[in-house]
Structure 1
Amino acid sequence: MGVANRGYSAAVDTGSVSSSFERLLAPQPAPPWWLVLVTAALALVLVGYRPLWRITRAAVTVAHEGGHALFALLTGRRLHAITLHTDTSGLTVSSGKPTGPGMILTAMAGYPAPALLGVGYAALLGSGRVSVMLWATLAMLVAVLVKVRNVYGLLTVLVLGALVFGVSWYGSDLLQAGFAYLAAWFLLAAAVRPVLELQRGRRRQPGRTDSDADQLARLTHLPALLWVAFFALICLAAAVIGGWLMLAPVEQLHPLFQR
């Protein structure tokens, strides 16, 4: 009887896990039209209002450095550390061949990363996968946390992780959808501003910056301004594509697309 009870218990647990996994992957209904538009407007405020941007930019830096780290690993480099600073700058340290495709891709990945992540979020939300998007975000934050090597960076990632976990675990469906759409809109809008700030800094201090664009100029012998333009093009294209992916499934907004 003891064995039978354990077998029955295991079967219940397995079914529970399977059911939870199915609920996680199941598409949720499209959110109200007003939620999609309100979160888009709020994201623009978080990016455009300077006092708020000084705080929210830290989330963009996490995505930026995560992009560097991911491509360092994908290209066979050894990833040592990620540091996030109080001025919302960051640094990813990896070792390997100092030139060549691996180093170029690693240096190139930072500025497009928030925009491409935003497109990925938009694709998930457009297909109703709010829960998948939130838990995937939590997994990515955990992956970044493992390589963060300074106190401020640890606190930043932990606060973001706690916020995402709290919404994912305790939030209502409406709160989860609102938070997820806000995050996607924010990344799509916020990805553009650091590129503008990059060029502004290069113009104010010509020859005295060591930005990703300057590093790529040395690695590829192409002008740094060309790389800035490349970053801007990707971020703007991502904003258009991501916006369409999130707006198109909302039936109440279809008349806007038909005009």
Structure 2
Amino acid sequence: MTRTQPPTSPHYGAARTVVAAVTADLDQLRIGENLTRVHGQDGQTVWRRAIAPGDGWCRAQHAPVCAWPRGAALCVVLQWWPCRQTPPPQRGAHWAARLDAVTAGLRSLGYTVEHAGRRPDPATDRHAELLVYRTRPGRQPPRRPPGAWAHVPPPRSTFGWPENTPHSRLQTRINLSALPHVADVTVRDLATCLWPPSARYAACVTVTPAPGSPTHEALGSAAAAVRSHGYRTRQAEPAVTGTPPPTAFLAYHDGPDFRSVTAAHPFPH
């Protein structure tokens, strides 16, 4: 497969650095895209994947810092794409064998690899997603209860207008609040491997303060508005974000077992 764009992440700053670092390790293990530059027509530079037949390939994707596992020093969502030539009767075995190989390779380099989120189905899914991260010195990966994401529903197969999804409902509630006078607030869906284990839905809420509005106050107002609709909120750990201050937080819903979050603890761990 070829493409005319250079192999860079669309994200900037620390996010771009994290994705680039993991991408380099994927190429070292020969499980990444292994993009090589070739000369295309009309002077264009084309990037071609060099992938062994039957292996499939991996791509590191940006993960918002607010959704990183507690204690993580870096984190990405890893997409694994199977070999397209695998016959349908062999897809299950192909997925299992290659995902085990990818997991073992990354763990040999010191990464924690979790098969988190919704369980992929080789018969219907185009790719699988893994949670890949490194922990900070002295920290251990968080313990996950058995079957932590067994409740996550499959992707929807029907679409309608107007949208009536968890994403659209949360964005609509934010738009109808007083927040537009304080900040521009955008809801972005997250890969299910980034959802907290108890969540029935989770999103990254990005806050852009209005001119003259302090970032911390805009974040606090947005988080309070989200919690007023029955969601939990969580901010990135200070040791991770450092400076500049965070501009996003995690919003998630625990479903029927939801317990409200008090104003005294607006960003529970």
Task: Give 1 or 2: higher helix fraction.
Answer: 1
| TM-score above 0.5, yes or no | no
- Provide the TM-score with structure 2 as the length reference: 0.21
Higher relative contact order (CA 8 A, sep 6+): 1
